[in-house]
Amino acid sequence: MKIVDVGIHVVAPMDTVEPVSGARLGWVFVEVHTDEGVTGVGECSNWPMHGDLLIARTLEIVRRDLIGRDPAHIERIWQELFHRQTYLGNRGLITTVISGIDQALWDIRGKVLDRPLYDLLGGPVWDDLLLYTHPWGTTPEEIVATTRQVVADGYTAIKHDPFAEMWRRFLDYRGGQISRRGIRDGAALTAAMREAVGPDVELLIDLHGNFNVATAIQCIRALEPYDIGWFEEPVPPEGLDALRQIRRQVDVPLCVGERLFTRWDVLPVLQDGLVNYVMPDVCWTGGVSELKKIATLAETFLVPISPHGAQGPVQIVAGAHVMATVPNFYRLEINSGWLESFNAAITPALEIRDGRLHLPARPGLGIELNHDFIADHPDPDWVRTP
Ligand SMILES: [Mg+2]
């Protein structure tokens, strides 16, 4: 079997522009086609600031190296793509491109062997995948109302960034601090969310790497009374020593990983005991192959893994297949507010009951892209190279 083409789909499912960053919300899907008619699907969506377009353009270039290759050589192709980019820095851009290809190659392998992907990774240790989701809305009233709604839908953990002042200038890190009023407003919203859900629902707080050490600690201390399950990315991802300072100065559960790429980025965080959870993204950190390796690495430190994955539908399914086989799995992220779009883009629809995802017992990832939906929702900013 040989790879004969790589399809790249840049999709704008909701035709909306992300209000804070100005980037279009979307997905990048990869389809690896073979000479025997078997096609594998993967996702390497990125955000914000036109990350999708950077990834798609890089995929256009990398795809040339895949034509004629044996799709069963998953690890070999991963290693080649990764190590070739050493002089550009083999993290981030290339690992995201690799992620989409790697998922598609595993999908092909499962289809060829007629087994679900989780069977190829050791078989399921979990029959279904515990999820966490997000509230939505812009006002505190809307956010509390949608928090109540997702709990009524059966979800038992919710993640939110309550520091709205920072969101208004998202990715504009300058100074890494917000006003005392901004911290107080974040604490008030978190108190209202805790009040709304009661003591048994987990509240996770995403600080989005927005803060300097002093401000992150102020934010964490302001929210401590509300029994927070984890504080995510309190400082920018490159601030490993800053994370050490946070660890020394506050006694709360911490979590990082969506901007750690490959096992090499995760290792020092684990070795120094800086976090209670890791949350790599199957679309960014290196795909199915790398997520499984990172999970095993975290297992040796007895640290639970909870993949980041709120953007697209193939991402959620790919992460779920790996996590079904991982004993130290904690929860899988999903953005339940986008479920309608997710389910319009893939067949069959995601099967979610009582806050848990049930994977289809079908070969490979067990899903296919809905090409009618994709054709109807092209990203207008994407122009394929002739
Ligand atoms: Mg995050």
Over the stretch 193-246, which tens digit does the pLDDT of each residue have? 999 999 999 999 999 999 999 999 999 999 999 999 999 999 999 999 999 999
Beta bridge partners of 202: 157
3-state helix, strand, coil in the chain (%, to 5): 45, 15, 40
H or E segment and range at residue 159: strand 157-160
What pLDDT is stored for residue 302 in this prediction?
Answer: 98
For residues 181-204, give the mean pLDDT: 98
Q: 3-state DSSP call for residue 53?
A: helix
pLDDT of 386 higher than 70: no
Tell how far the Cα of 91 is from the centroid of ligand 1, in angstroms.
Answer: 18
For residues 95-118, give the mean pLDDT: 98
The pTM (predicted TM-score) of the whole model is 0.97
Tell how far the Cα of 321 is from the centroid of ligand 1, in angstroms.
Answer: 21
Tell how far the Cα of 197 is from the centroid of ligand 1, in angstroms.
Answer: 21
Q: Evaluate whether residue 75 is within a structural domain.
A: yes
DSSP 317-380: HHHHHHHTT-TTB--EE--GGGHHHHHHHEESPPEEETTEEE---SSBTS-EE-HHHHHHSB-T
Tell how far the Cα of 232 is from the centroid of ligand 1, in angstroms.
Answer: 6
Q: Which residue has the tokens 């859900």?
A: 197
**Residues 167, 294 within the same domain:** yes
Find the domain containing 94 and state its range: 3-115+369-376
Burial 362-380 (b: 16+ CB within 10 A, else e): bbbbbbbbbeebbeebebe
- Is residue 359 within 8 Å of 329, Cβ to Cβ? no
**Residues 105, 125 within the same domain:** no
What is the dihedral sign for C-alpha 139, 207, 247, 300? Answer: positive
Instruction: Kindly indicate the confidence band of residue 83, based on its pLDDT and cuts at 50, 70 and 90.
Output: very high
Q: How far apart are CA 337 and CA 44, in angstroms?
A: 20
What pLDDT is stored for residue 46 in this prediction?
Answer: 92
Contacts of 174 (CB under 8 A, 6+ apart): none
Q: Assign residue 253 the CATH number of its domain.
A: 3.20.20.120
For residues 336-350, give the mean pLDDT: 95
What pLDDT is stored for residue 297 in this prediction?
Answer: 98
What pLDDT is stored for residue 23 in this prediction?
Answer: 65
Q: Evaluate whether residue 26 is within a structural domain.
A: yes
**Which of the residue ranges 60-64, 113-117, 173-177 would you say has the lowest mean pLDDT?**
173-177
**Residues 130, 109 within the same domain:** no
Tell how far the Cα of 158 is from the centroid of ligand 1, in angstroms.
Answer: 12
**Residues 265, 291 within the same domain:** yes
Tell how far the Cα of 258 is from the centroid of ligand 1, in angstroms.
Answer: 6
From the list 107, 108, 105, 29, the residue with the least C-alpha distance to 74 is: 105
What pLDDT is stored for residue 20 in this prediction?
Answer: 60
Q: Which two tokens stand for residue 233?
A: 């990315």
Percent of the chain with pLDDT over 70: 97
Q: Evaluate whether residue 381 is within a structural domain.
A: no
Q: Which residue has the tokens 């999903």?
A: 334
**Residues 236, 313 within the same domain:** yes
**Residues 102, 174 within the same domain:** no
**In the 8-state DSSP scheme, what is residue 241?**
H
**Residues 161, 61 within the same domain:** no
Tell how far the Cα of 234 is from the centroid of ligand 1, in angstroms.
Answer: 10
Q: Evaluate whether residue 275 is within a structural domain.
A: yes
Q: Evaluate whether residue 220 is within a structural domain.
A: yes
What pLDDT is stored for residue 169 in this prediction?
Answer: 77
**Residues 77, 136 within the same domain:** no
H or E segment and range at residue 316: helix 313-323
DSSP 110-145: HHHHTSBHHHHTT--S-SSEEEEB----SSHHHHHH
Tell how far the Cα of 18 is from the centroid of ligand 1, in angstroms.
Answer: 16
Q: Assign residue 23 the CATH number of its domain.
A: 3.30.390.10
Question: How many structural domains comprise the chain?
Answer: 2
What pLDDT is stored for residue 21 in this prediction?
Answer: 59
The string of pLDDT tens digits covering residues 9-63 is 999 987 667 666 566 678 999 999 999 999 999 999 998 778 899 999 999 999 9
Gyration radius from the chain CA atoms:
20
Q: 3-state DSSP call for residue 27?
A: strand
Q: Evaluate whether residue 61 is within a structural domain.
A: yes
- Is residue 130 within 8 Å of 355, Cβ to Cβ? yes
Tell how far the Cα of 109 is from the centroid of ligand 1, in angstroms.
Answer: 31
Better-predicted residue by pLDDT, 116 or 381: 116
**Residues 63, 199 within the same domain:** no
Burial 169-192 (b: 16+ CB within 10 A, else e): ebeeeeebbbeeebbebbbebbeb
What pLDDT is stored for residue 19 in this prediction?
Answer: 63
For residues 268-277, give the mean pLDDT: 98
**Residues 139, 21 within the same domain:** no
Q: Evaluate whether residue 330 is within a structural domain.
A: yes
**In the 8-state DSSP scheme, what is residue 10?**
E
Tell how far the Cα of 330 is from the centroid of ligand 1, in angstroms.
Answer: 16
The string of pLDDT tens digits covering residues 277-316 is 999 999 999 999 999 999 999 999 999 999 998 789 999 9
Contacts of 50 (CB under 8 A, 6+ apart): 23, 24, 381
- Is residue 305 within 8 Å of 294, Cβ to Cβ? yes
Q: Evaluate whether residue 231 is within a structural domain.
A: yes
**Residues 109, 43 within the same domain:** yes
**Residues 39, 7 within the same domain:** yes
